[in-house]
Every structure is written in structure tokens, then in C-alpha cells.
Amino acid sequence: MLTAHPPTTAPSVRHAVVQGESEVTRDRRVTLTTVLGSCVACCLYDATAGVGGMNHFLLSMPPDQAYRSGDEAERYGLYAMELLVNEMLKRGATRPTMRAHLYGGANLHAGMRAIGTDNDRFARTFLQSDRIALVRSDTGGTLARRLDFQAATGRVRCRTILDQMPEIRPPRVTPPVTGDVELF
């Protein structure tokens, strides 16, 4: 699913881009955000056109490498990448002036298929064949990432998420004060 937003003068807003979604905007106040494990998010930015966008895909290609219909297609990288690039082109971006960032692609579970590696490899190959420059990436490893992308400006922040919960200590309880009270 693709969501497009016109420029606005509203206060800064955050839009979550979840699995199977893409979003493109010219609005400098919109920050696109997502959390990634083995999924990959491609962030595209075109400074000349003043437009940017992000997608979030779960798997690189359908098992038979053919498109599926409806919502199922949205979770695959082939569909997500084409959707994002085409929406950028509609908004005035060009392939030679687009710049790409890739994030995610972690392999979270040892001993399982390296889905994150497959997703990363697919996205890099797609960008190369579409002649879109990859200027930044933070992919691979074993940790999830939180991503914030100000699409219309190209600014990005990517943070890894620890694979452990912080220690939670019970609150300190002060015992009640006891004693006699004299009223007068």
C-alpha cells in the first residue's frame, strides 16, 4: 500500500511504515519510521526534486518468482521496490539524481535460513540494475533496528535495538511513619 502526502504547514508528524507499505512525501515535517529485523527498508531521496520515500518488505521474491495478487504481493521486495521507485518518478525524481539507503536485513535466529541476507542482496541488486546510487547502508548482523527518515530532506537516523530486556528493579518503597499524633 502506498500513501502519498502533499506539503503541509502542520507540526512535525511521524508516520509508521509497516511491512508491505511504502510512503513518499515532499513534506519536510514528516518523519517516516519503522522497526526492522530481517526485513529491509529502502529509503530513496532526490534533492533536486525535493522528494523522498521509504518502503518496508518482508521477503525478497515470491517462491516461484512471479507476482502474487492483492495484499500478498506487497510483502515482497520486487513489488515494494518497483512501487517506491515509480512513485518517486511520478513526483519528479529521476534515477540519476535519486540516492538510496538500505537498512535492516539482520539474521535474528541462528541456524535458520538467512532471510535478512537474502533481502539485503536483493535490494542491492535491484538498485544496481535500476542505476540508483546506494550511498548508505546499515544491514546484516543479528540485531533489529529502529529507523527514522525525514524523506523530504534525506536525513536519517538508524539505531540498533538490544536483544535483551533491561533489568527492571522494583520501586523503592518508604515504610509508613508510625507514632502518636496529638491534635489540639
Q: What's this model's pTM, rounded to 2 decimal places?
A: 0.79
| Closest among 56, 47, 55, 43 to 26, alpha carbons compared | 47
Give the per-residue pLDDT at 175: 65
Q: Where are the domains of the chain?
A: 2-159
Q: Residue 73 to residues 32, 69, 83, 117, 182: CA-CA distances in angstroms?
A: 22, 6, 11, 20, 76
C-alpha span between 155 and 50 (Å, rounded): 12
If one looks up domain 2-159 in CATH, what number appears? 3.30.1330.200
Give the per-residue pLDDT at 57: 95
Q: Residue 10 to residues 23, 27, 179: CA-CA distances in angstroms?
A: 18, 10, 58
Residues lower than pLDDT 70 in the chain: 1-11, 64-71, 163-168, 173-184
Q: Which residues contact 18 (CB under 8 A, 6 or more apart)?
A: 34, 56
Give the per-residue pLDDT at 29: 95
pLDDT tens-digit series, residues 3-44: 665 554 556 899 999 999 999 999 999 999 999 999 999 999
Record the cell numbers describing residue 60, joined without a space. Answer: 525478497
